[in-house]
Structure formats: structure tokens, C-alpha cells
Amino acid sequence: MKVLITGGAGFLGQRLARDLLARGALRKTLQNGGAPEPITELVLLDTTPAQAPDDARVRVETGDVADRAVLERLIDADTAVIFHLAAILSAEAEAEFDLGMRINLDGTRALLEVCRALGHHPRLVFTSSVAVYGGDLPEEVQDDTALDPQSSYGVQKAMAELLIGDYSRRGFVDGRVLRLPTVAVRPGRPSGAASSFASGIVREALNGETAVCPVSGSTSIWLLSPRKAVQCLVTAAELDSAVLGTRRIVNLPGVSTTVDEMIEELSKFGGSKAVGRVEWVPDEVIERIVSSWPSSWNVARAKKLGFSGDASFHAIVKVYVEDELPWAEKKRA
Amino acid sequence: MKVLITGGAGFLGQRLARDLLARGALRKTLQNGGAPEPITELVLLDTTPAQAPDDARVRVETGDVADRAVLERLIDADTAVIFHLAAILSAEAEAEFDLGMRINLDGTRALLEVCRALGHHPRLVFTSSVAVYGGDLPEEVQDDTALDPQSSYGVQKAMAELLIGDYSRRGFVDGRVLRLPTVAVRPGRPSGAASSFASGIVREALNGETAVCPVSGSTSIWLLSPRKAVQCLVTAAELDSAVLGTRRIVNLPGVSTTVDEMIEELSKFGGSKAVGRVEWVPDEVIERIVSSWPSSWNVARAKKLGFSGDASFHAIVKVYVEDELPWAEKKRA
């Protein structure tokens, strides 16, 4: 089968590509343990060329996900699984309204339309977000809690969810929407996400750099490690369509923590020196967006479907240190 | 002030136009009883020329609501209130997917974009629907019940709601979204709504014609009379923006009834003869769509804001007979 990743040069796209190439195949029914089907081609689409290993299966393509001609060139009837990760993230979509609409809404619609025209009903795994929630929220968000997004990013993701739901109901695609917690700790540089600080305060501080925290210590946040996020994406692709039924959306497991608790963990891994590198610079826009998101939701359905999250924020930082900072791990051991 | 009605040739658009011309003015704050401001121009936009009285204030325009050039021609900085009623209705949007997307989603977006470009922050009253709900619903839908539309029409309305919410939050428009119950009893001919039968079984049967009912007698439905629907539209236009706050959506009051109860009322007004004219022809698609809608929701917020519905289905039919069938009223008296 052919697999397409939009946003293939992005952080999650790169991780996912590495994982897919290593496993080499995807099953068509997770539930009945169907035989894995080899991945014959893995297309990585992004606006900048994705990094990729020297592997005959990989095809790196550059282009705009909202440009239908680009998608028509890359998707054919053998494209069995599409991971649609390309997105303008929360802070950027708030600052650049038109860009967010074009990529987050029109891009998703273009992708759906190309699949509809082909008529081959591919599995489409879409990454949605905590940001679809907002307003008056219960302590723990339930599957039937109403969406009330308080950012353009959240609105665009919610609209894309609705579209994918309808295209799935009509049989145009076989959609699977994953609402992701904030994915942290990410390596690399700060992103256009309002929650970028959640990675930064650990990453920069452990790396000997100043880490800016734009929100207050009591801010609650709902987190998932990159490793688990990639696992969830693969699980979503392998799920039996029948077990999802008409509900194509899954609220993924996460870990609920506060910024203060995160700093406490930071001190365990990097000591008071690391903690001292955190600079508190309140940013009203970021604070408003992040605090509108739920800090926990009921994950019973996700767990029943086979998705799993992290054990704790401590475990998340441990994974980050293992995966990205082997030197730090040694220092600690 | 200038007022625009999209869908101005439609049933509600025509009623609303008549009402606005008669009242001649709109208040800017319903709450503080601000002075009414005269309506100097009333633009009726539709794909076919709207009927209109010989009145210097009325301007009849034909054009496509999804065509931005048409909207740019009709909206200027003096257009203080826009009633956006133009829509492809539920059964038609299910049958004609692209048409529904173009009018219900792209049309709304074009309208929002034209207002955004002008920067004059007009009041935008949008008619949404029971159809945004679906799936597993509580006995009585609450303000915080999640949307799970089971038709393309419902999905398109839900997406338009989200857009209007974001454009309002960003200060591009001052949006007011009314979720309308099924509006019945309507005079005239059957419409493209899946709920068209709710008017038909009363209207046709009282008119000596065969009335087709595509759903079972136990089907529950949530109704609002045309007279009250128009009142609610005007109330929405006159609401103080501050009392809506960030929640731009109002679930309007309705009357919960079953088709069997409707038939019972029909017999009171037209006797067994009228009831005998109802022909039961099950239609799976219509039944599926209509039964996915909630048959009642909590209207506490709507009432607090000043919206009112009908007393009973009996009252709804009585109004229909008074407004549309004066002969029947006389016959009964």
C-alpha cells in the first residue's frame, strides 16, 4: 500500500515516517489481527523538503496542501492511508487568520475532495486538538461535551472534524480524527503553537538555555509524549472501521499537569540550575488561548479502542531525556 | 440604516421583509430600549426576484450568495443589519452535496469576508437549525450538549455557526446565530427540507389535497410557527451585543409534538375528511434525517434573552388558519 503524510517535514510527521519505515507494514484490522500489508511507498509532503533516509520506499514532495493539483499528483487509488498532519498551529493561526483558514480548513477540504473524486475510500487519520474545546468546561471533558473553541485554530480544527465526519458518513473517506493533547516534550526549536512553552521550559532549561514561560504556574495543561502520539497515529490507521461506527472522533489519553508541577519535574532532571533558567514573561494572548483548553478529558473510549498515553509527566520527561538527551540520562544515572 | 436579507424571496425572507417594512425601524439595544432607527433601504437578495410591495425603501436583487462580487455590490458601510437566511435545505443538501456546500458554507464565508473587508462590524443574524444535533441525545438538549450532525445540511450549518462565532470573536461581525426548530405550518408548496411534511400534512389536508407523510406517527418534532420565527429574527437583530457575550448561539423556543398528535389537531380543524387525506409513504432517508434531530431542548437562555415561541401545536395551527386560511376559520366558527 501507499501511505501519504501531509506535514511530512514537521515534527510529528518525521517521527511517524521513521516509525512507519521501521515497521514496514500496516494492518487493516487492528481488532482481528489482520495480516500486515507492506508499505510500498511513503510520500512525505510539506512546504519544505522533508528529511528522509536513503530508502527506495520514500518519496519526498514539496507543495501546498491547499493546492488541489499537488494532492492530485500525490494521491492515487493505491493510497490506502493518509496521515493529514499539515497545519498552521494555534498561535500562528491566531496571528495569521487567512493563512490558518487556507491550510487548516481549505487544505483539509481539498484533500477530502481529491479522495472523493478518486472514490477509493482511503483511511484518513487527522490530528485535531484540545483547542476545539473552550468556554465553560466541566472538570473533566466528556465525549458529549459541546465544542466552544476560543481561537481561530480551534474553530478551524472543529470545522475540519465536521467535514471529515460528513465525508466519512457519505462514504467518501474512512476518517479517523484524533484529538491530541499538547504534544510535549518536543525536541528542536519553539513552534507556532500557543503551547510551545510546554516543551520549551523543559527542553531549553535542560539544554542550558533561557526558557520563556508565558503563562502562570497554576495553568493546567493536558500532555502526550511524542512517542505515544506516534503510537496513537498508527493505532488509528489500523483500527477496524466498524468499531468506530459513526463516531469518527477519539479524545486521546493524556496526562494532566500544571506548569508548577512541570517545573518540579524539571528540577528532578536538571536541578535548581535548570529551574533558574525559566524566565516568566506573561503573554496575554497565549495565556488566554491555553487556559481556554481543557486540562483533562474522559479517555474511556480511547482506551477501549486500544489507544494509550503516558503514565505521568515524570515518564514524559524521562522519555524525552532517553530519546533526545542521552547525555543527560547518563549524567543522572 | 440599510438592511439586507439573503434568501429574500424565500418563505421566511418574505415574511421578515413584510414585517420590517411595517415596523419601519429597528432598535439598536433591545435591553435598554434604545430609540428605533429608521430602515432607509431593505435589500432582498435571492436567486430569483423576490416579490415586494411598491415601496421606495425596497431594492430587489438577484444573484448567488456565494458570489462575492454580488455581495460586494449590495453591502456597504451603512448596511447595519444582515439577515442571512439563504440556504439549501436539509433534504436537498443531502441529495446535492456540492450545492449545499457552496451555498450553506461558502456563501456564509463569502458574506463574512465581505463584512470583514468593509470593517463596519454589522449585526449578522443567521438561521441555524435543529439539524446541528444528532447521535445519542438526551431527552432534552441542553446549551452544552455536543453537536453531532447526521446530515450534510447539519454539518454545513454547524460549520457556519463556528465561522460566525470566530468572526464575531475577532470583531469582524456582530453575529447572532438562531437555531430554529422546524418552522411550520408554512403556506405554499413543499420545500427542500426533510421536515417539509410537517407543514404539508396540515396544509395540503386542510386544502383538500393529498398530504404525504414520509415518517411514522411516533416521530417527535420540534416546531415554531412562521409568525414567531419572524419575531425571533427581529429580536435577534435588536439584542444588545453585550448580553450575548461570547455565546452567539441561541436555541430558540419550540413546541415538542409527535406526528400522531399533529394528526389529532388536524382532525380538530378539518375533521376526519382532512385526516383521511394523509397518505403514509415511508421514506427511509427522510425518516433517518428527521429522527436524528432533537425533539426538544432547554430554552431557558432564549427566554431570558427575550425570545418567545408558541403555546402549543394547537396554537400553531390556529395561527396558520388565521393567517392563511380565513375561510377555514370562518367554517369552524
Instruction: Give the pLDDT confidence of B57-90 residue by residue, as tens digits.
Output: 999 999 999 999 999 999 999 999 999 999 999 9
Q: Residue B254: is its pLDDT beyond 50? A: yes
User: What pLDDT does residue A227 have?
Assistant: 95
User: What pLDDT does residue B25 have?
Assistant: 97
Residues 6+ apart with CB under 8 A from B123: B80, B81, B82, B173, B174, B175, B176, B237, B241
d(CA B254, CA B221): 9
User: What pLDDT does residue A157 have?
Assistant: 98
| Chain B CB contacts of A246 below 8 Å | 135, 150
Confidence of residue B326 (pLDDT cuts 50, 70, 90): low
User: What pLDDT does residue B325 have?
Assistant: 81
Q: Is B295 left (phi over 0), alpha (psi -120 to 50) or beta?
A: alpha
Q: Residue B332: is its pLDDT beyond 60? A: no
What does pLDDT average to over chain B? 94
Select the residue from A162, A172, A285 to test the B interface by mutation, using most B Cβ atoms within 10 A: A162
Q: Residue B119: is its pLDDT beyond 80? A: yes
Contact A146 B149 (CB under 8 A): no
Predicted ipTM of the assembly: 0.94
Contact B147 A150 (CB under 8 A): no
Q: Residue B330: is its pLDDT beyond 50? A: no
Q: Residue B278, exposed/middle/buried by CB under 10 A (0-12, 13-18, 19+)?
A: buried
| Chain B CB contacts of A136 below 8 Å | 144
Which among B13, B14, B36 is positioned nearest to B25, based on CA atoms?
B36
Domains of chain B in start order, with CATH, are 2-181+225-251 (3.40.50.720), 196-220+255-295+311-332 (3.90.25.10)
A158 touches chain B (CB under 8 A): yes
Contact B155 A149 (CB under 8 A): no
d(CA B62, CA B48): 6
Please state, for a pLDDT cut of 70, what percent of chain B lies above it.
98
Contact A170 B135 (CB under 8 A): no
| Chain B CB contacts of A179 below 8 Å | none
User: What pLDDT does residue A324 have?
Assistant: 86
Residue A83 bridge partners (DSSP): A5, A125
Select the residue from B90, B155, B168, B251 to test the A interface by mutation, using most A Cβ atoms within 10 A: B155
pLDDT < 70 stretches in chain A: 326-333
User: What pLDDT does residue B74 have?
Assistant: 98
Q: Residue B143: is its pLDDT beyond 90? A: no
Contact B150 A246 (CB under 8 A): yes
Residues 6+ apart with CB under 8 A from B174: B121, B122, B123, B124, B168, B241
User: What pLDDT does residue B327 have?
Assistant: 63
Verify whether residue B153 is a known catalytic residue.
yes
B4 in Cβ contact with B74 (< 8 Å)? yes
| Chain A CB contacts of B143 below 8 Å | 146
- Measured between CA atoms, how close is A155 to chain B, in angstroms? 6
Contact B155 A146 (CB under 8 A): no
CA B332 to chain centre: 30
A78 touches chain B (CB under 8 A): no
- Measured between CA atoms, how close is B227 to chain A, in angstroms? 30
What does pLDDT average to over chain A? 94
B169 touches chain A (CB under 8 A): yes
Q: Residue B329: is its pLDDT beyond 80? A: no
Contact B152 A166 (CB under 8 A): yes
The residue written with cell numbers 428605533 in the block is B36
- pLDDT tens by residue, B157-202: 999 999 999 999 999 999 999 999 999 999 988 888 999 999 999 9
Sheet holding B220-224, edge to edge: B182-183, B220-224, B255-258
B136 touches chain A (CB under 8 A): yes
User: What pLDDT does residue A333 have?
Assistant: 36
Q: What is the mean pLDDT of residues B42-50?
A: 97
Residues 6+ apart with CB under 8 A from A33: A27
Contact B146 A146 (CB under 8 A): yes
B273 touches chain A (CB under 8 A): no
B152 touches chain A (CB under 8 A): yes
Select the residue from B144, B164, B168 to test the A interface by mutation, using most A Cβ atoms within 10 A: B144
Q: What is the mean pLDDT of residues B225-233?
A: 97
A170 touches chain B (CB under 8 A): yes
Between the alpha carbon of residue B264 and those of residues A277, B112, B249, the distances in Å are: 75, 44, 34
User: What pLDDT does residue A278 have?
Assistant: 96
| Chain A CB contacts of B166 below 8 Å | 149, 152, 155
User: What burial letters (b/e) apply to A189-212, b meaning 16+ CB within 10 Å?
Assistant: eebbbbbbbbbbbbbbbbbeeebb
User: What pLDDT does residue B333 have?
Assistant: 37
B112 in Cβ contact with B85 (< 8 Å)? no
d(CA A301, CA A58): 34
The residue written with cell numbers 470593517 in the block is B119
| Chain B CB contacts of A165 below 8 Å | 149, 155
User: What pLDDT does residue A152 have?
Assistant: 98
Under DSSP, the state recorded for B224 is E
| Chain A CB contacts of B246 below 8 Å | 135, 150
Residue A6 bridge partners (DSSP): A45, A84
User: What pLDDT does residue A327 have?
Assistant: 63
In the three-class reduction of DSSP (H, G, I as helix; E, B as strand; rest coil), residue B236 is classed as helix
d(CA A244, CA A250): 9
d(CA A289, CA A93): 11
Q: Which candidate from A143, A146, A155 shows the least CB-CB separation from B165?
A: A155
B92 in Cβ contact with B100 (< 8 Å)? yes
Q: Residue B44: is its pLDDT beyond 60? A: yes
Tell me how many degrees the CA angle A32-A42-A20 measures, rounded to the nearest 5. 50
d(CA A135, CA A257): 20
| Chain B CB contacts of A97 below 8 Å | 170
Tell me how many degrees the CA angle A72-A78-A79 measures, rounded to the nearest 5. 60
Between the alpha carbon of residue A117 and those of residues A75, A85, B93, B153, the distances in Å are: 11, 21, 18, 21
Contact A155 B163 (CB under 8 A): yes
Q: Higher pLDDT residue, A328 or B324?
A: B324
